Structure 1
Amino acid sequence: RNYPIYIRHPEILRVVKTYSIVLRTMRRILDERGFMELPAPIIGHVSDPGLRGAGKAVVEIYGETYEVQSSVIMYKQLYASLLEKIYYAARNLRIEPPENMYTGRHLVEFTQLDVEASITTASDMMRLAEETLYKTVRYILNHHSELLTYNQVDFLEKTITKPPYPRIDYDSALELLERKGYRLEHGKEISFEAEAALGDIYGTPVWLHGFPTVSRGFYYMPDPEKPGYNIDYNLILPGHAGEVLDGGCREYRYEKLVERIKYHGEPLEKYRWFLELAKAGAIQPSCGWGMGVERLVKYIHGLRHIAYASPHPRIPGIIGP
């Protein structure tokens, strides 16, 4: 409704510049480490099923039904298997429940830096994510501090400290948060509010890792040393910002994928193209992560709502110009 005013506001223009610099800086960091950028697909027969309550947009083309990509997870697995180190700067679409307009951290349309590598470990990919986050924020502070207020600079200097960042597993996080008064159910995703509180407790980025297999999508690799849990990880930011990154190591074995898809109540036919690749041996072990670009920009500028981190805000329940 007020888009003509929004796009001319000096603060919004500063944020848009930061968005561009953040994406360019992260690309440079990954390029220097031998990662190859690929063009992200927009539609496919199926997209990511693990959306924490969000829906997926569907379109009909040439008499066939396709999903607008909510995540490039399966494409990441495929091309990391073939090219070893890849990334996408992917525009994703998720139909969030209208009530998520009030969380301040959800958009219907957003950018995710999706990174994947084969012949690697969870710890290696976590270190890469830490380095990418830290160096990107440092670049903004060192070369573009004019885009920030004094308070924003001071906050970033105090909170985005040099890695490594602390790590806490799912069970320990539940115990800690329950002592702080949060009522949580084991085997479920941690609530957005509790997740944000975890970052406040540490005051720096913190890794939350090892989620129960029942709580997450079929594509995560189970932890052989801890039955019932995954090899996965989320990076939580302080300042009540919450999750900025989700990642893990991927299931690639055909029989296990079939087993996991059935467990989640999904039809196998829906994932036939991916299962055929796995059966043919085209899907190899890999680990990776996806970092929300708008969420990082929101954090850098201390914005009260993620809508202000995008030149084209698509808020749950509201689709603008």
Structure 2
Amino acid sequence: MQDVFVKDIEKYLGQEVRLKGWVRNIRHSGKLLFIILRDGTGEIQTVAFQPDLGEKAFETAKHLTLESSVIICGIPNLHPKQEGVYELQVTQVQPLQIADEYPIGKKEHGPDFLLSNRHLWIRSQKQWAILRIRHTVYYAICNYLNEHNFIRFDSPILTPNACEGTTTLFELDYFDEGKAYLSQSGQLYLETGIMSFGRVYDFGPVFRAERSKTRKHLTEFWMMDAEAAFVEHDENMQIQEDLIRYVIRTVLSECALELQILERNTESLKAADAPFKRMTHYEAVELLRQKGSDITHSKDLGAQDEVLLTEDSEVPVFVERWPKEIKAFYMKRDPLNPNLVLGDDLIAPEGFGELIGGSQREDDYELLLSRMQAENMPIDDYQWFLDLRKYGSVPHSGFGVGLERLVAWLSGTPHIRETIPFPRMIYRIYP
């Protein structure tokens, strides 16, 4: 008898097989017992008939509880009433551990209870589906980059200085070296890699000590940062668009069951796989003001602005050429207007907000130095970064993709806390 996974069950129709997993649901009616078994790859209804199983074994099976671990042997067949669905005619049931009364029942639970029991909540069908989509998105991003001449170039998590601003750093003592910080982004270190490899990316956890309680913020999240030599602003945006569209197609292709479980509108995802819209920050502000926003031309977009901006769009929207005052020091100035930078944010439709931030980077040593001096940055601490502009500097660009925000949009999950196994927020670090 062969051990098989639920996802492969159709290959073994009519053959006795062995499944190992957990009881998601159980009910009995007279001499029939129905056990929904999940094994991590999927779930299947198993049907035990008392005369076939034997009275003792049948009674043992009846005492299984939710989330009990079990080995079930049987013969898979097509479901008699549901096309394309399979069920297992049970021949043996072997309990491994009878679970205590499961805390997460069928009744409604508040978010605080569910987060406190996150170690159990991730077993639920919807959380399973979201996190499987996360897995698919992660590998789709890597696959696209690997196929387009990017190589993995890991940046450090412990850093001696800031990348995105000193007010959002997690600080710690680093032996006798003084203060160190948890990385906000791998971007600065990635720029060193392009001088060796041309195109590089990293993918890992980053940390922001922001006191934000919105549905789009975590203090620890996963970011893919990419940098590419000899790539300028417009090509940088095209790479971002091609990447996201590739991820959309991959999720639609590989996660049909998960999207169905989540009741995700897949037509909206299919519609998003089309050329993205582009507008300047100035144009975006003008449009938002027409829609009733009080945003000004010197301000960043707020959450509601992002919703308004994309409410009539089926595809993500690039907002490019931002005022230099509200963007980072390393962004290259627009040659047509030095008050603007060649930066872009990619805003998802359906109210899911910013997915990507990117820009062409300043490649001139003196210009970058003068900006850093104007912002009173500790030049000695960043000299290694400046050195990149002294030894073979080239035009280059990069961008960062927030994994959880992308997963939230693709899965249709309203709150980002459900798109990572164990969310870290300003009010939660347990479990």
Instruction: Please tell me the TM-score bracket, short chain as reference.
Output: over 0.9
Moved more, 192-201 or 289-298: 192-201
Task: Report if the CA contact (8 A) 1:47-1:72 is conserved.
Answer: no
Tell me which residue corresponds to 1:7. 122
Tell me which residue corresponds to 2:74. none
Q: Which residue identity is paired with 2:173?
A: E
Name the CA distance, whole Å, in 2 between partners of 1:5 and 1:69. 30
Structure 1: gaps of 5 or more residues: none
Name the CA distance, whole Å, in 2 between partners of 1:135 and 1:279. 33
Task: Report if the CA contact (8 A) 2:346-2:354 is conserved.
Answer: yes
Tell me which residue corresponds to 1:70. 184
Return the offset for 1:269: 3.4
Asked if 1:247 corresponds to 2:339, the answer is no
Name the CA distance, whole Å, in 2 between partners of 1:10 and 1:295. 20
Aligned residue runs from structure 1 range 1-321, under 5 A: 1-50=116-165, 55-64=168-177, 65-97=179-211, 100-101=212-213, 103-149=214-260, 150-158=263-271, 160-162=272-274, 164-275=275-386, 277-278=387-388, 280-281=390-391, 283-321=393-431
Alpha carbon RMSD of aligned pairs, Å?
A: 1.7
Q: Which residue identity is paired with 2:129?
A: R
The structure showing larger relative contact order (alpha-carbon pairs under 8 Å, at least 6 residues apart) is 1
Runs of 4+ with deviation above 4 angstroms? none
Name the CA distance, whole Å, in 2 between partners of 1:213 and 1:207. 17
Moved more, 74-83 or 241-250: 74-83
Task: Report if the CA contact (8 A) 1:15-1:309 is conserved.
Answer: yes
Name the CA distance, whole Å, in 2 between partners of 1:280 and 1:131. 32
Q: Percent identity?
A: 27
Give the TM-score, by structure 1 length: 0.92
More helix by share: 1
Structure 2: gaps of 5 or more residues: 1-115
Name the CA distance, whole Å, in 2 between partners of 1:288 and 1:157. 27
Task: Report if the CA contact (8 A) 1:77-1:283 is conserved.
Answer: no
Moved more, 188-197 or 218-227: 188-197
Q: Which residue identity is paired with 2:298?
A: G
Return the offset for 1:264: 2.6
Name the CA distance, whole Å, in 2 between partners of 1:242 and 1:320. 27
Name the CA distance, whole Å, in 1 between partners of 2:206 and 2:401. 12
Give the TM-score, by structure 2 length: 0.69
Return the offset for 1:283: 4.9
Q: Which residue identity is paired with 1:32?
A: E
Q: Deviations over 1:173-199 (max 9, x none)?
A: 101001111111322212122123212
Q: Deviations over 1:247-301 (max 9, x none)?
A: 00001322212211233343323423323x2464265431011111110110011
Return the offset for 1:226: 1.4
Q: Which residue identity is paired with 1:258?
A: L
Task: Report if the CA contact (8 A) 1:152-1:300 is conserved.
Answer: no
SS at the partner of 1:228? strand
Name the CA distance, whole Å, in 2 between partners of 1:282 and 1:46. 24
More strand by share: 2
Q: Deviations over 1:158-184 (max 9, x none)?
A: 3x132x211000111101001111111
Moved more, 206-215 or 142-151: 142-151
